[in-house]
Amino acid sequence: MLSHGVVHSVSRNLVTSASDAAPISTMQDVLGTSLSDDRFRESLAAFEDVLAEIRKLRSLDLKDIHPAVIFEPTAPYRAKGEK
């Protein structure tokens, strides 16, 4: 039951493409999900609204922007009180 939360207007686009373009099991394997086929289809439908937003983000060219993720190799030393 996916009628709560982000889901309020469910399109079947993703579900249809999942059925037509690639076997569900292949998609599940690629995405690393262990959901049942039915539950996976429901998840695809529930994701439709989020995907609509993400499509806007994909339209941006951000190649010159460093993401807000900074790798800090000193973190474990700091946590142990070492310099």
Partner 1 sequence: MKNDDERDPCAAPIEHLAPALRDRRLSPVALTEACLERIGASDGTLQSFVHVAKSTLAQARDVEREIAAGNWRGALHGIPIGVKDNYLTEDMPTTAGTRAAGISFGFYDSAAVARLRKAGAILIGKTRTHEFAWGTVTPPTRNPWDTNRIPGGSSGGSAAAVAGGLCSAALGSDTGGSIRIPASLCGVVGLKPTFGRVSRYGIVPHTWSLDHAGPLSRTVTDAALLLNVLAGYDARDPACQDRPVPDYTKALGLPIEGMRVGVCRNHFFDRNEPAVDAAVERALSDLSAAGARVHEFEIPNLQYGLAAIFAVELASSAAYHDASVAAGRQVHFEPDVRSLVEIGRLVTAADYLKAEQLRAVLCEDFRRAFEHADVIVGPTEPLTAWNSGEWTVEVGGKPESVLAASWRLTFPYNLTGLPAISVPCGFDHRGLPIGLQIAGRPFDETTVLRVAHAFERGHAWGGQIATHRTP
Contact footprint for partner 1 (CB under 8 A): 1-9, 31-35, 39, 43-44, 46-47, 49-51, 53-54, 56-58, 60, 62, 65-69, 72, 75, 78-81
| DSSP code of residue 20 | H
* Closest distance of CB 54 from partner 1, Å: 5
* CB-side neighbour CA atoms (13 Å) of 82: 6
Cβ-count burial of 24 within 10 angstroms (0-12 exposed, 13-18 middle, 19+ buried)? middle
- Taking the complex as a whole, how short is the minimal distance between the CB of residue 37 and partner 1, in angstroms? 13
CB nearer to partner 1: pick between 20 and 57: 57
